[in-house]
Structure 1
């Protein structure tokens, strides 16, 4: 008998309990188009991607219809496992070995809309074409119709098949369009993507050691309360939930008005705090802000949220001081989570470098001085004077 046998409370947990992102087989927002000829599915995908590609990152998955044995392309024919070619206006990868599911998710993690030829591949949601000529084929795929969100009637059909009505209990609540009504179909996908926009939470970074300052910067009373709470209060109108990030082991105020989020990626500074937030809620976007920004104002936050681009990895302000994006007053989208982990795996824990080397939306701050951070007692005194001058000017006006 082992030590834990007979005592379920002491059974060993083999895996850490993690919150998994709500991805499908490939991406967060994926639809398999099934029930029509492959050429019709391809043309429909072209129409949708052509209409939405300027606003969203779109992708398509299909399977080759070549029944003959296809010769290996490029250097794969001579034994390479991977062949990459820079085609100038696009990039081409050829793989020798089949891609594993986790690798496919990595490839499509940055997409906003993924369409799949459902005659060959599966996706977590389905668009079903009702075509008399493909009736038998669709009947064979009934078990694939797990989450139908749209029916499309081909020219030769005017109603759903009886077996579809029997297999899908809520079929009457699912919209039905004509296959040729491209505007309605495109509007459907556009509405779905807008509805799927990730919820925005806020994370106030208050877990720094404040070594240059000599005392806790988050506790400085610039505006009538500790700075970490002042910043959290300012963020509340723009975000669903506001959290304050603390380092592991850091003493927290048990009477704090905001929930805390402890850093579980220790020793990485702000980088670890951002990863810890995504580890807790991987489907949320995070407005990450350092607590040592005493000149931050509501207008700067409102502008950041208003110009947020959820199709980008992040939305950030350009810093005229560093001449680079400012990572600690930025909105990090869920698609940045695997990218942050990838950078970390390559030995890089600088959030600014992630912004520099990825697809982001970069904004100019309406009031650049709002990005001023305070790290030393000298900087503290300088900012104190600025705040007092502003207060005096407001009183006079």
Structure 2
């Protein structure tokens, strides 16, 4: 049983798991860095903070989501636009557009409750989103972000101009960015080599916890 730390009734959680994992060579969302597949690990983290949590997926993935264990798929209705497909589909599913979306990519195996707690605690609801500054290039990290209701119209307007990159939209809006409390939590795993690096780091953390 997962206990919520707070009742954030205006925030839903979304795990982005609809990618094709071409560089990884196998489905990233099904890799097991912890005690369960990464998509479910991320969803369980979000359940501590969000009113509802969904796993964003392509139409052909829906039947593969373990609904018997309480995981809810949210089918992409915008297609072929990478992460933007999942974000816009989530917005579209909320007809009243009153809900913010805490979006987390499935390929962040070092993501932690502490990092999510920091993000929510420092939420800037007056902006279209609350996002971290990437430790690699100081640009917005759009795939661990709280997207506010106002972000829907902004992303749609950007799409009308041919912009399908959520990061580029965040850059153009000039939002204030947060410095992540743990830079490693934003480690994005896209290749077998990066997956190996994540496994090594997790092993070190677990060994340290046992000391």
The reply to whether TM is greater than 0.5 is yes
Structure 1: any 5+ residue segments left out of the alignment? 1-196
1:260 paired residue number: 73
2:47 pairs with 1:240: no
Q: How far is the alpha carbon of 1:235 from its aligned partner?
A: 0.9
Residue of structure 2 in register with 1:318 after alignment = 133
- Please tell me whether the aligned partners of residues 21 and 27 of structure 2 are also in contact (alpha carbons under 8 angstroms): yes
CA deviation after TM superposition for structure 1 residue 393, in Å:
1.1
TM-aligned CA distance change 1:308 to 1:253, over 3 Å: same
Q: Distance in 2 between matches of 1:293 and 1:242?
A: 17
2:30 to 210, 219, 223: 219
Is residue 333 from structure 1 mapped to residue 148 from structure 2 by the alignment? yes
Is the alpha carbon distance of 1:199 and 1:279 closer, same or farther for their aligned partners in structure 2, counting shifts above 3 Å?
A: same
Q: Unpaired segments of 5 or more residues in structure 2? A: 1-7
- For residues 361 and 252 of structure 1, the distance between their equivalents in structure 2, rounded to whole angstroms, comes to 39
Q: 1:254 & 1:370 partners in 2: Cα distance?
A: 25
Matching of residues 350-389 of structure 1 within 5 Å? 350-389=165-204
Residues 37-95 of structure 1 show CA distances to partners (whole Å, capped at 9, x for unaligned) of xxxxxxxxxxxxxxxxxxxxxxxxxxxxxxxxxxxxxxxxxxxxxxxxxxxxxxxxxxx
Sort the Cα spacing of 1:254 and 1:243 in 2 relative to 1 into closer, same or farther, 3 A: closer
Preserved contact between residue 296 and residue 370 of structure 1 (Cα < 8 Å): yes
- Aligned: 1:348 with 2:159: no
Question: Could you list the per-position Cα deviations for residues 335-366 of structure 1 after superposition, in whole angstroms to 9, with x for gaps in the alignment?
Answer: 01011000000011000011101152310000
Secondary structure at the aligned position of 1:240 is classed as: coil
**Per-residue deviation at 1:252?**
3.1
Aligned residue for 2:206?
391
Cα RMSD (Å): 1.4
| Secondary structure of the structure 2 residue equivalent to 1:293 | coil
Report deviation, 1:307: 0.7
Corresponding residue number in structure 2 for 1:279: 92
Alignment of 1:249 onto 2:60:
yes
For residues 19-168 of structure 1, what are the structure 2 equivalents within 5 Å?
none
Q: Distance in 2 between matches of 1:364 and 1:312?
A: 16
Question: How far 1:247 sits from its partner (Å)?
Answer: 1.4
Q: Which residue of 1 aligns with 2:111?
A: 296
Contact 2:34 2:41 in 1 (8 A): yes
For residue 14 of structure 2, what is the aligned residue in structure 1?
203
* Higher-RCO chain (CA-CA 8 Å, sequence separation at least 6): 2
- How far is the alpha carbon of 1:258 from its aligned partner? 1.3
Per the alignment, do residues 354 and 200 of structure 1 end up closer, same or farther by CA in structure 2, a change over 3 Å counting? same
- Alpha-carbon contact 1:288-1:329 (below 8 Å) kept: yes
Detail structure 1 runs of 4+ shifted over 2 Å in the superposition.
Answer: 248-257
- Closer, same or farther in 2 for the Cα pair 1:206/1:239, shift >3 Å? same
Alignment-derived partner of residue 91 in structure 1: none
